[in-house]
A and B are shown apart, each in its own frame.
Chain A
Amino acid sequence: MTAAAALASLPAFRACATQDIERFVKLAPPVRFHGQSVLIRQGEPAQGAFLVLSGRCRAEVQRGDERVVVGHVQAGEVVGELGLFTSAARRSATVIAEEDVQALLLTQDLFDRPHALPVLSVIERRALATMAERVRRSSQATRRRRPRPAAPAAHTGKDWLAGLMGALQRLTGG
């Protein structure tokens, strides 16, 4: 299946006109990955993203000498989108093809086109929802882990006595 046909078959892009799909595929070059090859490597500079057309990938995070699978990416999903909307970011996970994967390479150059690209608009709308959800979850995880400010110490008899003694000393200049 050609990249254009694969893109047109994805539910999110079915409303896009054929000429828009074909134009987009010329601007976002199709790439293929064999199973077990790496699409994105954790720690590398984030430049561009991939729109997966077919196949399945897994995202892993390496910490120390261990790896944890943090999710899977299916056809129709964008992977590495922070590298599309920001500059100077680094990849936070490694993404590996679990089987042969066909994808479109999305670069920041796509934003510099004088005319709107309907396919890019669909990608942007989907990214708005997924990124908002992710930010919200990250923020909530931060709040759950942030130490609560210490409650003011209860007023004890000793505090009261020390305060009174201090006030008396100030009054008497001692």
Chain B
Amino acid sequence: MRRVAAALILSHRALGVDEDALVQVLGRMRLRKEEGGATLYEEGARSETVDFLLQGRVRVVAGGESQELTRLEAPAVVGHLGVLTGLPRSATVVTDGPAVIGRLEFREIWSLVGGEAAAGQALRRLLLASLAQLEGQANAALGALLPAPPEDKDRPAGTVAAPIGGPRPTPRPRDPLAELAAHFDADLLAQADRVEVVETEATRRERYRR
């Protein structure tokens, strides 16, 4: 388990995770071997466990296998998003060949994460590092799907846009979703709901002015 703990810390670039403490966490897991094609989680099911992929690979798919979201290779953490948000599984996870899985139950995770013990701290930081990686990947994937920013034809070649704090451009009314796509950035998309509210207000103000 020590080797697995070290590999988990390294692969997630986790900061401040004590290896001994993570070994304690791994010692609490229920280990099982799975053949290829075994379903670990079903999209829409209740999120009750977090799995540590110790050996092998898994495929993460959505919409009844029609959309492969990603493939993960050991060592990896799977299923923590649902447990941490308290929402049902957002995707199906299927083993891609033989795999060894370590499973932690919902109650155990929360008692560890909520506590002050070294094991809890190690689990918390490993999950945070994993979430940070996922956030980067999700934002990059989303960025690739969105159109490039509009060309600024008035700006002379080689100059940059007015910095933050400079004069504000006149707001133009437009579709909030189009705005969202045109102004993509990591946190912007992450907070999509709030963007829509901001833009709706701007649009409404513009309409009043008319």
Residues of A that sit less than 8 Å from B by CB: 36, 38, 41-42, 59-71, 82, 85-87, 89, 92-94, 96, 108, 110-112, 116, 118, 121, 124-125, 127-129, 131-143, 145-146, 148-149
Contact = CB atoms under 8 A, between A and B. Distances in A.
B45 interface: no
Contact of B138 (A63, A70, A110, A139): A139
Given A63-B149, A89-B132, A145-B146, A135 B138 contact: yes
A89 B188 CA distance: 16
A96 B164 contact: yes
Contacts of A148: 66-67
Smallest CB-CB A-B distances: 7 pairs: A111-B16, A92-B186, A132-B84, A138-B138, A65-B161, A86-B132, A61-B185
Contacts of A143: 62, 67, 69
B198 A69 contact: yes
Contact of A67 (B15, B114, B129, B164): B164
Nearest to A65: B161
A64 B152 contact: yes
A126 to B, nearest CB: 11
A63 B131 contact: no
Nearest to B134: A135
B85 to A, nearest CB: 5
B128 A127 contact: yes
B85 A70 contact: no
Interface stretch (B26-34, B95-103, B119-127): B119-127
B150 interface: yes
Interface residues of B, number: 63
B132 A132 contact: no
Contacts of B81: 132, 135-136, 139
B59 interface: no
Contacts of B7: none
Given A70-B191, A134-B190, A145-B146, A64 B161 contact: yes
Most chain A beta-carbon neighbours within 10 Å: one of B85, B136, B185:
B185
Contacts of A145: 142, 145-146
B122 to A, nearest CB: 11
B132 A82 contact: yes
B129 A86 contact: yes
A107 to B, nearest CB: 11
Given A68-B179, A85-B15, A108-B15, A93 B187 contact: yes
A108 B14 CA distance: 11
A128 B124 contact: yes
A63 B183 contact: yes
26 contacts: A63-B182, A63-B185, A64-B149, A64-B150, A65-B169, A68-B183, A70-B188, A71-B191, A85-B128, A85-B132, A87-B13, A89-B132, A108-B15, A110-B16, A125-B124, A128-B127, A131-B135, A134-B190, A135-B134, A135-B190, A136-B87, A137-B193, A138-B190, A142-B138, A145-B146, A149-B67
